[in-house]
Amino acid sequence: MTISDPPAHVPRPAIDIRDLRVDYGDFVAVDDLSLKVPPGEVFGLVGPNGAGKTSTFRVLTTLMEPTYGEVILDGVDVLEDIESARRVVGYMPDLAPVPGDLKVGEFLEYYASAYGLGSLPQRRERVVECMEEVAVTDLREKWCKELSRGQTQRVVLAKTLLHRPRVLILDEPASGLDPLARRDLRNALRRLAKTGATVFISSHILSELAEMCTSLCVMNRGRLLASGTVEEVRQQLGNTERTITASLLHRHEEAAEWLAAMPAVHELRIEGSQVVFGFKGTDDEQADLMEGLVREGFRLRAFEERRSSFEDILVEVAESNRRSS
Ligand SMILES: Nc1ncnc2c1ncn2[C@@H]1O[C@H](COP(=O)(O)OP(=O)(O)OP(=O)(O)O)[C@@H](O)[C@H]1O
């Protein structure tokens, strides 16, 4: 079944998940998840262990039926029309195995044949294209068992691309890759997104996703906590707090007293000639604070802010899970 197209001015989401729920017996692994991803995005799904990422992906890739909900990928209702869905989706599971006794080229040609991708010359051409896409052409004659982890990931990605999926779902594709291999993967994914494909990629390490994705969402205990750009997600998670260090040429104790009386300033301490404090106000209020210090005649040498990294926020999320379980 193909869902009817929306009006021309509204781009149809490439990924449209509505009220998705996955239960394992009494346990709710995915809880009322709704999400729309526009075409051409490299979209990240981040969450601690057990958040429900793989369960979501298994539903999207037709490997599992949800308890309820709807999933529409590139206009195809995944739960109603499994065959069309499998043509639309390419899935690369975490640590996908490769057969050790085949060479890379043979492995890819085998799958091109299994997918029924045209005549032998057409299949060979497609294999060459996919190898080029993810920069593994030079590995064609290498035995799969001799591939490094990063090479294996790219070869499996080439296999995943063979049938020209419009939506690519990659479970932890960057785990264990070195920075160079991650860069290659990132470039390959960006190239694919430029062709209009949509990439949905999971990780429990935010920095991996932040460098690869145009936007992302955060999942925890089966629920969506936030989605958008990294900055939007940070704000949705309510972490606008920052630590400010004001370095003064003199009168730092007086400055500390003045600062301590300001709203949004907390946990203030003096470290040598520096006053360090937490600040929960807006950017405007922060600018007022700086201006105020100068107006009061304090000789401000430097004013530095440090926001808790997004990784810190996720660690907090995971820790609060542990505390409440
Ligand atoms: N077949 C199953 N039977 C029972 N519970 C399951 C099953 N598969 C997953 N779960 C539970 O569902 C929850 C979500 O698991 P899932 O694998 O979707 O999480 P994840 O976010 O992919 O985790 P990870 O980052 O550790 O791979 C976990 O608490 C897990 O124990």
Measured from the Cα of 25, ligand 1's closest atom is: 4
Q: Is 150 in the pocket of ligand 1 (CB under 6 A)?
A: no
Q: For a pocket test of ligand 1, which of 26, 53, 209, 220 has the largest count of ligand atoms closer than 8 A to its C-beta?
A: 53
Quote the DSSP letter at residue 67.
Answer: S
Q: How far is the CA of 140 from the centre of ligand 1 (A)?
A: 36
Q: Pick from 99, 107, 152: which is nearest to 127 by CA? A: 107
Structural domains present in the chain: 15-229 (3.40.50.300), 242-307 (3.30.70.100)
Complex-level ipTM:
0.97
Per-residue pLDDT of the chain (325 residues; tens, 9 = 90+): 445 555 556 678 999 999 999 999 999 999 999 999 999 999 999 888 889 999 999 999 999 999 999 999 999 999 999 999 999 999 998 878 888 889 999 999 999 999 888 899 999 999 999 999 888 999 999 999 999 888 898 899 999 999 999 999 999 888 777 788 788 888 888 888 888 899 999 987 777 787 788 899 989 889 998 898 877 887 777 666 788 999 999 898 999 999 999 988 999 999 988 999 999 888 888 999 999 999 999 999 999 988 766 667 666 666 666 666 6
* Adjacent-strand bridge partners of 277: 244
Measured from the Cα of 47, ligand 1's closest atom is: 21
Measured from the Cα of 27, ligand 1's closest atom is: 5
Q: How far is the CA of 52 from the centre of ligand 1 (A)?
A: 6
Q: Is 68 in the pocket of ligand 1 (CB under 6 A)?
A: no
Return d(Cα 194, Cα 39) in angstroms, integer.
10
Q: Is-contact 210 43, C-beta < 8 A? A: no
Q: How far is the CA of 50 from the centre of ligand 1 (A)?
A: 5
Q: Pick from 303, 292, 287, 307: which is nearest to 248 by CA? A: 303
Q: Is 24 in the pocket of ligand 1 (CB under 6 A)?
A: yes
Closest residue by Cα to atom 7, ligand 1, is 24
Quote the DSSP letter at residue 98.
Answer: -
Q: How far is the CA of 198 from the centre of ligand 1 (A)?
A: 24
Residues 6+ apart with CB under 8 A from 296: 255, 258
Supply 9's token pair: 């001015």
Closest residue by Cα to atom 28, ligand 1, is 50
Return d(Cα 241, Cα 228) in angstroms, integer.
19
Q: Is 47 in the pocket of ligand 1 (CB under 6 A)?
A: yes
Q: What are phi and psi of 219, to 5 degrees?
A: -120, 145
Q: How far is the CA of 47 from the centre of ligand 1 (A)?
A: 12
pTM higher than 0.80: no
Q: Is 58 in the pocket of ligand 1 (CB under 6 A)?
A: no
Q: How far is the CA of 187 from the centre of ligand 1 (A)?
A: 30
Residue 297: Cβ-neighbour burial (10 angstroms; 0-12, 13-18, 19+): exposed
Q: How far is the CA of 71 from the centre of ligand 1 (A)?
A: 19
| Secondary structure of residue 295 in the 3-state scheme | helix
Q: How far is the CA of 170 from the centre of ligand 1 (A)?
A: 16
The pLDDT, as a whole number, for residue 207 is 73
